[in-house]
Chains A and B, each alone.
Chain A
Amino acid sequence: MVTQPVENNGYYASQYEALVACLPGSDLPWLRQKRDEALASFSASGFPSPREEEWRYTNVSAIERRLFSPAPGKPGKIERGKLDAIILRDAYALVFVDGIYSDEFSSTGGLPDGVLACSIKHAMTADGERVKSWLGAGVEHERNGFISFNTAFFSDGAYIYIPSDIEVERPIQLIYVTTQNDSLACTRNLVVADSGAQAVIVETHLGLDELSYLSASVSEVFVGENSIVKWNKLQCESDRGFHFGGVYASQQSYGRFEHNNYSFGGLLVRNEVHVELAYASECNLDGLFLATGRQHVDNHTRVNHIRPKGISRETYKGILDRRAKGVFQGRIVVAEDAQKTDSAMKNRNLLLSSDAEIDTKPQLEIYADDVKCAHGVTVGELDEDAIFFLQTRGIDPVTAKNMLTFAFANEMVERISIPCLRSLVQTHLLNRFPQTNIRTEWL
């Protein structure tokens, strides 16, 4: 491990100079320009600082102090068996090992005609015009240091295009595995669903063993008119891994975007979900985050109602144990033109230890006068009456507490409509309760 107490920007600038020729699209002037600008912006401002309002509760100096090695073209070795823990049966799969697309592990056979699901590197030649017009259109790299960092350094990512009125019935799973210590995996994903198209995306992050690394992933999603995109994210980074994952969705009229966020792993994690709604479009954001030990998990959501009649729902639940720290920042903006907006946000948190901490900050910014907006936050402990009740039914208090904690979490998991995804998430959830004797076959 290389530790450097001061500026790392110089380190990354020199890495960039050395590597940029091997990054995908290095021969494309427009992309090279984008990367150069992003690097300049990162060099000037660095990773976000807690002085920035949107980063008030999350200090990423642990990431700043480290010098992660971008290693494009040199993915580590992984046995197929390691993927069994996260791969969905009956789904298309795009697998990225250490930020590089793996042809060996990916399977996209049988996609409907016209649908593209491939690496973004491949898409730069196969569907170059679309990549050029959409990449960076969903989120400006200046929004924060991680996004400019990702824009400069992304070594690959997923590209998915679904033409008008096509429904992709099986989920498309994006799997990101990190296998090397001190490594940097930057991936950039682009999902475009044309009008009336439908797709289910499952974004899965897995870190092997006890590795320490930085995984920084940025996804831009374009939800066309009448189109439905259901996005699920399962984050199981290693307990020493650093994770930044942002999903930025732009919707057209009558579209629907769902984002279900299950964040279990990682030492320092920032999940961002930003959605822009159009006329009569809908979005639903669900989240469940668990942290224990010294984990820090930050969930940053933003819902922008720009046009009238949008509907948004948001429910985030957090469970913090031991010395863990959780953050929920939910911001809903209703623009002046967004009359008849209907929006509701809930955040419920369970603190299992007196050393655990949650910072929760719901924000409503309403500039229209005919809207319905509600929000509610709770922070609590396990219900003593419920623990006693379970004891009177013969269940010991440790098991009772685990059952109640699991139940609090499972409420979110039970909302998953795809059975194989539900059981995958449940399995990873149970892995986070090692002492429990809750048994999957009872669920």
Chain B
Amino acid sequence: MLSIENLHVSVGDNEILKGINLQVNPGEVHAIMGPNGSGKSTLSHVLAGRSGYDIKAGSILYQGRDLSEMEPEERAREGIFLAFQYPVEIPGVSNIYLLKAALNSIRKHQGLDELDAMDFLSMVKTKTKLVEMDEKFLYRAVNEGFSGGEKKRNEILQMAVLEPRLAILDETDSGLDIDALKIVSEGVNALRSEKRSFVLVTHYQRLLDYIKPDFVHVLVDGNIVKTGDAQLALELEEKGYGWVGQSDVVEV
């Protein structure tokens, strides 16, 4: 599904990613962990197509296509979803309007008809239950006046409605209390399927108590220095990032 080879990315003169390799197959959940400033968020932004990042070397293939050739909206229509670390507030645009506009643009791209109003509404209402969100939130402006937890749940709601093939969650756990973390995780778990892959970018191990990853990658200073299974996250929790970081420095 996603194949990253020797990816080097710079912002201005500053090289942030220094040769990343990552293979994500359908149905897999990959966690990318690392300390602050290791390049985790850069990776998720590059995958979603944010401007301001220069790909200096390497390639990203998504379903066999060169991702760097695709505009952000085309990536979204082809099934890539980014849940933002800091969800954007959009006064004046209601949640329901956003969901309708987004879903219909994706359906149009896939050659499907627009959902009729009744079907759309009942589908969205079902999904709000998944993230334990009051239906009233649908009619409020996107994220305006939402608490941190409500904003993150709203991201998961969008994901649930848009049903992506590849979901990238950028520090979705940051700023969440334990109840919100559970709700968000259950939302993600409910969406796991054989065809859908996840990349979870996180600083802390605790998200992985709720969402069990197939692979854990440790990103330090722009490189994946260690890859393992869920067990690796627990070791990191115990020993800290210094442990893998050191070994990497020695290898180089």
Q: Which residues of chain A have C-beta atoms less than 8 A from B219's C-beta?
A: none
Point out the residue from A383, A406, A410 that lies within 8 Å of B88, measured CB to CB: A383
Point out the residue from A389, A390, A391, A394 that lies within 8 Å of B162, measured CB to CB: A394
Interchain CA distance A114-B158 in the complex, whole Å: 56
Interchain CA distance A391-B49 in the complex, whole Å: 9
Q: Which residues of chain B have C-beta atoms less than 8 A from A410's C-beta?
A: 92
Asked if A386 lies at the interface with its beta carbon under 8 angstroms from chain B, I say yes
Minimum C-beta distance from A426 to chain B (A): 12
Minimum C-beta distance from B43 to chain A (A): 15
Of A178-186, A360-368, A395-403, the one contacting chain B is A395-403
Interchain CA distance A397-B48 in the complex, whole Å: 14
Instruction: State whether A442 touches B100 (Cβ < 8 A).
Output: yes
Instruction: State whether B93 touches A403 (Cβ < 8 A).
Output: yes
29 of the cross-chain contacts (CB-CB < 8 Å) are A383-B88, A386-B90, A389-B87, A390-B90, A390-B102, A391-B76, A392-B49, A392-B75, A392-B82, A393-B98, A394-B73, A394-B76, A394-B109, A395-B73, A395-B76, A403-B93, A403-B101, A404-B93, A406-B92, A407-B141, A408-B91, A408-B92, A409-B92, A411-B91, A411-B92, A414-B92, A441-B117, A442-B97, A442-B100
Q: Which residues of chain B have C-beta atoms less than 8 A from A6's C-beta?
A: none
Asked if A11 lies at the interface with its beta carbon under 8 angstroms from chain B, I say no
Asked if B71 lies at the interface with its beta carbon under 8 angstroms from chain A, I say yes
Chain A, interface residues (CB within 8 Å), range: 20 to 34
Q: Which residues of chain B have C-beta atoms less than 8 A from A18's C-beta?
A: none
**How many CB-defined contacts (below 8 Å) exist between A and B?**
81
Instruction: State whether B48 touches A392 (Cβ < 8 A).
Output: yes
Which residue of A has the minimal Cβ distance to B106? A394
> Which residue among B92, B103, B117 has the maximum number of chain A CB atoms within 10 Å of its CB?
B92
Instruction: State whether B50 touches A388 (Cβ < 8 A).
Output: yes
Asked if B213 lies at the interface with its beta carbon under 8 angstroms from chain A, I say no
Known: A393-B101, A397-B73. 12 other contacts (CB 8 A): A390-B98, A390-B102, A391-B49, A392-B48, A392-B73, A394-B162, A395-B73, A395-B76, A404-B92, A406-B92, A407-B92, A442-B97
Asked if A385 lies at the interface with its beta carbon under 8 angstroms from chain B, I say yes
Asked if B198 lies at the interface with its beta carbon under 8 angstroms from chain A, I say no
Asked if B245 lies at the interface with its beta carbon under 8 angstroms from chain A, I say no
Q: With A386-B88, A406-B92, A411-B92 given, is the CB distance from A396 to B49 under 8 Å?
A: no
Instruction: State whether A391 touches B72 (Cβ < 8 A).
Output: yes
Interchain CA distance A395-B72 in the complex, whole Å: 9
Minimum C-beta distance from B166 to chain A (A): 12
Which residue of A has the minimal Cβ distance to B93? A407
> Which residue among B49, B87, B105, B162 has the maximum number of chain A CB atoms within 10 Å of its CB?
B105
Asked if B81 lies at the interface with its beta carbon under 8 angstroms from chain A, I say yes
> Which residue among B50, B51, B75 has the maximum number of chain A CB atoms within 10 Å of its CB?
B50
Which residue of A has the minimal Cβ distance to B79? A394
Asked if B203 lies at the interface with its beta carbon under 8 angstroms from chain A, I say no
The 4 A-B residue pairs with the shortest CB-CB distance in the complex, in nearest-first order: A407-B92, A391-B72, A393-B102, A394-B76
Q: Which residues of chain B have C-beta atoms less than 8 A from A44's C-beta?
A: none
Q: Which residues of chain A have C-beta atoms less than 8 A from B92's C-beta?
A: 404, 406-411, 414
Q: Which residues of chain A have C-beta atoms less than 8 A from B84's C-beta?
A: 389
Interchain CA distance A441-B120 in the complex, whole Å: 13
Instruction: State whether B101 touches A392 (Cβ < 8 A).
Output: no
Instruction: State whether A392 touches B76 (Cβ < 8 A).
Output: yes
Q: Which residues of chain A have C-beta atoms less than 8 A from B101's C-beta?
A: 393, 395, 399, 403, 442
Q: Which residues of chain A have C-beta atoms less than 8 A from B73's C-beta?
A: 391-392, 394-397
Interchain CA distance A40-B48 in the complex, whole Å: 68
Instruction: State whether B93 touches A389 (Cβ < 8 A).
Output: no
Q: With A403-B101, A442-B100, A443-B97 given, is the CB distance from A392 to B72 under 8 Å?
A: yes
Q: With A396-B105, A403-B101 given, is the CB distance from A391 to B71 under 8 Å?
A: yes
> Which residue among B71, B80, B97, B102 has the maximum number of chain A CB atoms within 10 Å of its CB?
B97
Which residue of B has the minimal Cβ distance to A386? B88
Instruction: State whether A388 touches B90 (Cβ < 8 A).
Output: no
Hey, what's the 0/1 contact readout for A367-397 against B, CB within 8 Å counting as 1?
Answer: 0000000000000000101101111111111
Minimum C-beta distance from A432 to chain B (A): 15
Minimum C-beta distance from A439 to chain B (A): 9
Asked if B30 lies at the interface with its beta carbon under 8 angstroms from chain A, I say no
Interchain CA distance A393-B73 in the complex, whole Å: 7
Interchain CA distance A407-B93 in the complex, whole Å: 6
Q: With A388-B72, A442-B100 given, is the CB distance from A393 to B88 under 8 Å?
A: no
Interchain CA distance A282-B75 in the complex, whole Å: 52
Which residue of A has the minimal Cβ distance to B99? A393
Asked if B153 lies at the interface with its beta carbon under 8 angstroms from chain A, I say no
Q: Which residues of chain B have C-beta atoms less than 8 A from A391's C-beta?
A: 49, 71-73, 76
Interchain CA distance A191-B101 in the complex, whole Å: 44
Interchain CA distance A411-B81 in the complex, whole Å: 28
Instruction: State whether B105 touches A394 (Cβ < 8 A).
Output: yes
Point out the residue from B91, B141, B158 that lies within 8 Å of A393, measured CB to CB: B158
Interchain CA distance A386-B93 in the complex, whole Å: 11
Instruction: State whether B71 touches A392 (Cβ < 8 A).
Output: no
Interface residues in B18-67 (C-beta closer than 8 Å to A): 48-51
Minimum C-beta distance from B2 to chain A (A): 16
Asked if B8 lies at the interface with its beta carbon under 8 angstroms from chain A, I say no
Interchain CA distance A409-B93 in the complex, whole Å: 10
Instruction: State whether A389 touches B88 (Cβ < 8 A).
Output: yes
Q: Which residues of chain A have C-beta atoms less than 8 A from B100's C-beta?
A: 442
Q: Which residues of chain B have C-beta atoms less than 8 A from A441's C-beta?
A: 117
Q: Which residues of chain B have C-beta atoms less than 8 A from A407's C-beta?
A: 90-93, 141
Asked if B77 lies at the interface with its beta carbon under 8 angstroms from chain A, I say yes
